[in-house]
Every structure is written in C-alpha cells, then in structure tokens.
C-alpha cells in the first residue's frame, strides 16, 4: 500500500466495497436507489445507513424498479441507481431497461452476484449475469475485487451519462461488497454531447431555405431551449415540426411550440410526409414501422423525400437547432399553442374522448402526463394540445408495462408536480406493483385506468397483419374479461385510494377531485 493509499484508508476508517460503492455513487451525484434486493446485496443495503445522500426506494417487483429509474432519469436528467438480485432479478427488470435504452435514458444498474469463489458451484441462483445484462446494456462490467468497486462505479456513472443517456450495468459479486476497500473513487467528468458538424448545420439551413422541409425530433430537442429554437426555425421558414410516435419526453400544452406527431400506421405516416421534400432529423432516425405488416413498407419516408441528419442522438440537438435558428435572424412570430382546454364533455356512457377531454380541462400547470393508454388515446393526441402546459412521457421501446413505473420515477424526480398516468388496463397488469411504491412514498400520482377489458390493440392488429378475424380461441387471447379485473380492489390492495366510473360526468368529477388533492389515487375508467 502506498503512503497516500494508507492515508486514505486511515481517513475513511474501515470501509467495505459496498460502502465505497454507495459513497462513490453519491459523490457522482446519484441520489436515488430504486431497489429490490436479495441476500447478495445485503452489504449494499446496510451501507445506505452509513452514507448520507442516497435515498433508497423499494419496489416489490424489478420491472417497477427499472421503469421508475427510467422515469426518474427522463425528468431529473441524471441517473438513478437500481439494485437488483442476480440474473433472474435483473431478468424481471429487462423489459423496462429495454424501454430506457430506446429512450436514451441514463441508468446505473447495480446487480448483486454470488461471491467470486462461489460461482463455480452452480448454486440455485447461479446464472450468467453478464449475459442477462448485455441484452439491454451499453456497458456491462463485473467487479473483480473490493478495491476495484469504487472506481468501477465512477466509470458506470460516466458511461450512463454519456449522451444521449446509456444503460451501465455493474455486477457486484458478494465478496467484492463485503471485503475491505480503500474508499470512494473520484467522480469522473460528465461527457458533453458533441456539437453536430458544421456541414450538417449548413445542409439543414439550405434545405430549410428551399422550403417544404420538416424537422423530426426526439430527445432534448422536444422541450426547453430545443423546442424554442425549433419554434423559431418553423416561424422563419415555414418548416413543419414533428416528433416520433412514441417520444421519451415532450413539452406540450398552452404556450408551447406545437409539434405534430408521426402517425403509427404506414398508410397514414406516408400520407403525413407526402409534401415533405426534406426531412431533417434531430436526435432520431427516419421513421419506420413499429411492426412489419405484410405488403406495407417498413420505411415511412416517401420516395423522393430527402433525409438529412442535423444531429445524431448522441450529438447536441439543442445546440444544433439553435445554430440553425441563428441562420434565420429577424423577428418571426413563433406559433404557440393557445390556452383553450377542452370543454367538459356532455354526460353519457364514458368514452376515450371524454377521458381525454376531462384531462385537458382539469390538468394543472406543469403536470407530467405518462401515456401508456395505447388504444385509449389513439387518434386523440390533439385533445391535449391546448391544455395547461405539461410534460408528456411515452414508451419509446414498446415494451408493455412501462407506464405506471415511469410515473413512479417521474414523481420521485419532481415531488412538486402532479403526475397523471394514462394507463391501458392490459399493460397496467404487467407492473401493477408500482401502486404500492406510490403509496409507500406518498407520491402525487393519479392513475387513470382505461378499462376496456381487452388487449384492444391486438384486436386491431389482427386485421393489420392480415391474420384473419380470429376464432374463439384467438379471441380469448385478447379478452381481459372472464373475469373482469377489478382495479379498485387491486389498487386498494396496495394502499392506493381508488374509485370506478363509467360516465363522462363521473370521470370528470373524479379526475377534478384527484387534481385538487395530493397523493396517489386511481380511477378505473370503464369505457
């Protein structure tokens, strides 16, 4: 041990690898640990009490943990840590890590593993943790000994924060957690997104001057300074502003620059783009089908439409938009959505339109709306255009079960903002355990369950893929009735107050009451 190392050890007192890890995470500005721990992670868990600055939040299922880390990362702009238990525990969290990866969200996964010397015995939980992690991670590393853990953690945070946001998975064998370590590692610099090359900016400016251009955006371009710059570009050039169908985050509502949403289906998307001569990409790729459908194109860009990349996802799309906007000086009146919430719908049996209308009417300022309503809001995106300003979070990875965990994480990141989850009933069942964490942490989340008692999207998709109408066996695979789910009981079973409504008036009243109150609640909206 060198003199300086000896000095560090003396300063920090006895410290095991787990404590060096938690201290390093805190020093790297990671303040939240979403956890579902097991035996291998016990030293990490007890270190939490010795290290100020790290808030642990328990999820009763790993999909809640990883999806909440996604929601937190989107709103906080920095990573949360997850704490997961070997390969199977990580396995349960993979779907929402897939979503986070597709959304470009930073997450640091800490995954406990058997002690290094125990791995050869093929004990029950022995698995190839690295193989599980590699499916969704930009970086996977297994610490070799306790003295390495802190430096590995600093590296994990740096990799997670590499633009646009990455999944870093650090595997922590139990003995690297409990053996003595030297102390925390220094935080590494946070990588900055590189500026797009000058030729990309110049090409975009030229295309915009020619007219009939559209800017398709994703990532930080869709809120804050990025969206403002896009608004100036549109005002100056007449370019259309567009977003992916399922964007990670977008600022919407009154006062915000309106952005058109790419349609889901090939026919509509191709039509949508039909007048576009140049499609300028900022932080995204040229639009493609969510799925393949027989006889339909995978690529939505019409023939003859030129595609230009202004900024790749890892580049600074906001700065690129500002550079482009600077090429169009002068006072152009930026278009902004007016504040004109939908009127309250007339009473009658509840429909999806009624739900969106009431949300538009009653949504408070600066709410966060998490949308996994799927068919619940298909074709109804415009209904939230003129409500109070809000941020919307969608599920860009398409893995079902993102909604309620995202809302949980967003509420942890923004405790002073109302969070509203628009949640399909089928998708909600994958990660319903989220409600318990919302109850325990008293999160200000209102969950609206679109209870159509079906995997409605699949009934639509049957036609889309040309698989026929489906006989009784097929249709039973899309039917969530027999028996009906009772979301009021499910919610109350996890400590979240709930009610059921099936009329437009009933929903509007319940939603308005939820907006006035604080804390978690759920509305089962039977449509």
CB of 247 to its own copies, least distance (A): 11
> Footprint of its own copies on residues 400-439 (CB under 8 A)?
400-401, 426, 429-430, 432-433, 436, 439
Nearest residue (CB) to its own copies, 82 versus 237: 82
Q: How far is the CB of 478 from its own copies (least distance, A)?
A: 8
Concatenating the DSSP letter of every residue in 327-382 gives TS-S----------PPPPPPSSB--HHHHHHHHHHHPPTTEEEEEE-GGGTTT-GG
Of 20, 82, 109, 127, the one binding its own copies (CB under 8 A) is 127
Write down the least CB distance from residue 255 to its own copies, Å. Answer: 30
Q: In the beta sheet, which residues pair with residue 252?
A: 390
Considering the rule CB under 8 A, would residue 494 count as an interface residue with its own copies?
Answer: yes
| CB of 355 closer than 8 Å to CB of 450 | yes
Establish if 483 lies at the interface with its own copies (CB under 8 A).
yes
Judged by CB under 8 A, the chain residues 158 through 177 that form the site for its own copies are 174-175
Nearest distance from residue 331's CB to its own copies, in Å? Answer: 40
HSE on the CB side for 12, CA within 13 Å? 22
Q: Which stretch binds its own copies (CB under 8 A): 185-193, 358-366, 465-473, 503-511?
A: 465-473
Our CB check for its own copies shows the closer of 243 and 342 to be: 243
Residue with tokens 């060198």: 2
Nearer to its own copies, 236 or 498 (CB): 498
Count Cα atoms within 13 angstroms, Cβ side, for 466. 5
* Closer residue to its own copies (CB): 37 or 231: 37
Cis amide prior to 126 (ω within 30 degrees): no
Quick one: CA torsion of 302, 381, 383, 513, rounded to 10 degrees? -170
Residue 69 corresponds to which tokens in the numbers above?
A: 């880390």
Helix (H, G, I), strand (E, B) or coil at 499: strand
145 contacts its own copies (rule: CB under 8 A) = no
Distance, in Å, from the CA atom of 18 to the CA atom of 47, rounded to the nearest integer, reads: 6
Query: Please, what is the minimum distance in Å from the beta carbon of residue 27 to its own copies?
Result: 18
Stretch that binds its own copies, among 111-119, 149-157, 204-212, 217-225 (CB under 8 A): 111-119
Least distance (Å) between residue 30 CB and its own copies: 15
Residue whose CB is less far from its own copies, 202 or 467: 467
Partner residues linked to 113 by β-bridges: 173
Which of 111, 94, 104 shows the shortest CA–CA distance to 153?
A: 111
Does 128 contact its own copies by CB under 8 A? yes
299 binds its own copies (CB under 8 A): yes
466 binds its own copies (CB under 8 A): yes
Judged by CB under 8 A, the residue of 307, 344, 353, 480 near its own copies is 480
Q: Contact between 270 and its own copies (CB under 8 A)?
A: no
Q: In the window 38-67, what residues touch its own copies (CB under 8 A)?
A: 38-40, 42-43, 45-46, 48-50, 56, 58, 60-61, 63
CB of 386 to its own copies, least distance (A): 28
Tell me the number of residues near its own copies by CB under 8 A: 102
Residue 317 structure tokens: 């799309």
Q: Which CB, 414 or 498, lies closer to its own copies?
A: 498
Q: Which helix (H) or strand (E) holds 74?
A: helix 62-76
CB nearer to its own copies: give 41 or 316.
41
Q: Residues 6 or more apart from 12 whose CB is under 8 A from it?
A: 182, 183, 184
Supply 452's token pair. Answer: 């159509």
Q: Dihedral sign, CA of 87, 133, 437, 525? A: negative
Count CB-CB contacts under 10 A for residue 274: 10
- For residues 281 and 214, what is the distance between their CA atoms, to the nearest angstrom? 9
Min separation Cβ 523 and its own copies, Å: 15
Residue 274: closest CA among 306, 311, 314, 305: 305
Q: Is 139 in the site for its own copies (CB under 8 A)?
A: no
Q: Decide if residue 337 touches its own copies (CB under 8 A).
A: no
95 binds its own copies (CB under 8 A): yes
Q: What are the structure tokens assigned to 508, written together?
A: 């509007």
Choices 73-81, 158-166, 443-451, 459-467; region in contact with its own copies by CB under 8 A: 459-467
**Phi, psi at residue 356, to the nearest 5°?**
-60, -35
Which residue in the block uniquely carries the two structure tokens 């930026």? 334
* Contact stretch for its own copies (CB under 8 A) within 184-192, 227-235, 290-298, 352-360: 290-298
Q: Select the span of 31-39, 161-169, 181-189, 207-215 touching its own copies (CB under 8 A).
A: 31-39
């Amino acid at each position: 041990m060198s003199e300086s190392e000896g000095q560090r050890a003396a300063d920090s007192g006895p410290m095991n690898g787990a404590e060096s890890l938690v201290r390093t995470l805190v020093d790297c500005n990671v303040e939240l640990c979403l956890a579902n721990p097991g035996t291998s992670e016990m030293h990490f868990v007890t270190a939490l009490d010795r290290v100020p600055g790290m808030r642990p939040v328990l999820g009763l299922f790993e999909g809640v943990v990883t999806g909440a880390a996604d929601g937190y990362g989107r709103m906080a702009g920095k990573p949360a840590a997850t704490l997961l238990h070997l390969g199977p525990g990580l396995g349960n969290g993979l779907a929402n890590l897939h979503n986070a990866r597709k959304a470009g969200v930073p997450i640091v996964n800490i995954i406990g593993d058997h002690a290094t010397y125990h791995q050869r015995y093929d004990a029950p939980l022995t698995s190839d943790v690295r193989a599980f992690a590699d499916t969704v991670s930009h970086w996977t590393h297994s610490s070799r000994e306790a003295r390495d853990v802190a430096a590995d953690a600093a590296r994990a945070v740096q990799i997670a924060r590499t633009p646009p946001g990455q999944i870093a998975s650090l595997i922590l064998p139990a003995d690297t957690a409990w053996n003595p370590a030297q102390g925390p590692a220094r935080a590494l610099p946070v990588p900055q997104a590189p500026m797009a090359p000058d030729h990309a900016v110049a090409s975009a400016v030229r295309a915009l001057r020619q007219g009939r251009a559209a800017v398709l955006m994703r990532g930080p371009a869709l809120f804050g300074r990025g969206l403002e710059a896009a608004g100036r570009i549109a005002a100056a050039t007449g370019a259309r502003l567009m977003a992916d169908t399922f964007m990670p985050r977008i600022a919407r509502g009154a006062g915000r620059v309106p952005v058109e949403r790419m349609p889901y289906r090939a026919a509509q998307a191709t039509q949508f783009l039909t007048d576009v001569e140049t499609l300028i990409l900022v932080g995204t790729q040229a639009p493609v089908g969510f799925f393949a459908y027989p006889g339909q194109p995978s690529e939505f860009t019409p023939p003859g439409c030129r595609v230009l990349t202004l900024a790749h996802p890892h580049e600074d799309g906001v700065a690129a938009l500002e550079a482009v906007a600077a090429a169009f000086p002068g006072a152009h009146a930026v278009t902004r959505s007016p504040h004109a919430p939908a009127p309250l719908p007339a009473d009658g049996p509840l429909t999806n339109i009624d739900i969106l209308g009431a949300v538009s009417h009653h949504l408070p300022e600066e709410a966060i709306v998490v949308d996994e309503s799927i068919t619940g809001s298909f074709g109804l995106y415009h209904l939230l255009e003129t409500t109070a300003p809000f941020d919307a979070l969608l599920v860009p990875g398409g893995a079902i079960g993102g909604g309620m965990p995202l809302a949980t994480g967003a509420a942890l990141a923004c405790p002073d903002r109302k969070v509203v989850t628009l949640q399909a009933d089928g998708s909600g069942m994958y990660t319903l355990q989220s409600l318990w964490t919302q109850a325990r942490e008293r999160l200000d989340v209102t969950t609206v369950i679109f209870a159509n008692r079906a995997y409605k999207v699949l009934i639509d998709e049957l036609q889309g893929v040309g698989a026929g109408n489906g006989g009784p066996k097929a249709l039973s695979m899309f039917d969530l009735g027999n028996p009906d789910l009772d979301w009021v009981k499910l919610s109350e079973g996890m400590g979240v107050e709930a009610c059921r409504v099936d009329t437009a008036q009933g929903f509007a009243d319940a939603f308005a009451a939820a907006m006035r109150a604080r804390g978690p609640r759920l509305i089962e909206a039977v449509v």
